[in-house]
Structure 1
Amino acid sequence: MTAPESLRVQTSAPPPPPWRAQTLVVTVVALGGGAGAAARYAASLWWPSAAGGFPWTTLWVNVAGCAVIGVFMVVITEIRAVHPLVRPFFGTGVLGGFTTFSTYAVDIRKLLETGHVGTGLAYLAATPLTALAAVWLGALSTRRLLGTTDTKGKESL
């Protein structure tokens, strides 16, 4: 004879609260973000942009980071399985900290406020266009180099 379901002793521990379950993910995102932001800051120190000039360093950091995002996403979604913390650490953390669309917005504002409207508008248009192109080219190049295809047998992108 067994006890009714409502009287049985629970033998497994209840699941942790949602915030505790995500603690490790938040930690690896923060560590990766710090590394990416430090790399971006180092780039701005090595290749400073002149006041009122086109912010080339920020543009190329964003383009390079977006190209790596394209490569990374193909590798982790189409080539090989990775540890569940790789994507939050590298994709969200490192590359999120490295690419800097907040600095992009501040650069535009500074250019417009200091009367460099043409440069500001060129930068406003160039950054998202080149960043999107970089993601697309990074993914396409990775697929071509590694010979991956989509589910229909045709090359993706």
Structure 2
Amino acid sequence: MNYVIVAFFAFFGGILRYLLAIELPKIDLFPIGTLVANYLGCFLFSWLVKHIMVDRDINGRLILGVGTGFCGGLTTFSSFALDAVQLVQQQAYGLAFLYLAASIIGGLFFVWLGEVIVRRRVSE
């Protein structure tokens, strides 16, 4: 049953990632859509799944679906890596470095932001 739950939610995460990729096209080869999808997934996983849903004792299968399924389908290491390699292959070294740095630092920032928001709500 867990496979079905993960697959169901992953469908919607993947569709959102696809929509972001087509609505936020590359700007000068820079993959905005993938970056935004990964930022959103990092934030949602930290804020919604790891804190809000767990703290409120939401059903474990729903947490599995939203966390592993939706957030896993939304974020994508493979697209991140492929975009970085394509930038290097096109000799856009500055953009490749910027993309790598923005992805890693930004991803960590959005996980941190989700945690900060939860902590502020808990302390109020």
Would you say the 8 A contact 2:22–2:33 is kept in 1? no
- 1:66-118: per-residue Cα shift (whole Å, max 9, x none)? 111111211123x3111120121000000110012211100001100111111
Q: Establish whether residue 122 from structure 1 lines up as the match of residue 98 from structure 2.
A: yes
Which one of the candidate residues 15, 26, 37 is aligned to 1:38?
A: 15
Give the whole-Å Cα distance in 2 for the aligned partners of 1:69 and 1:84: 14
Question: What letter is aligned with 2:59?
Answer: H
Q: What is the alpha-carbon distance in structure 2 between the residues aligned to residue 147 and residue 27 of structure 1? A: 37
Indicate which of 57, 63, 85 corresponds to 1:81: 57
Gaps spanning 5+ residues in structure 2: where?
none
Unpaired segments ≥5 residues, structure 1: 1-23, 149-157
Over the matched positions of the two proteins, sequence identity in percent amounts to 31
Match status 1:26 vs 2:18: no
* Equivalent position to 1:142, from 107, 113, 118: 118
Aligned pair count reads 123
Normalising by structure 2, what TM-score?
0.91
Supply the RMSD in Å over aligned alpha carbons: 1.4
**Bigger proportion of residues as helix:** 2
Question: Relative contact order: is structure 1 or structure 2 higher (C-alpha 8 Å, sep ≥ 6)?
Answer: 2
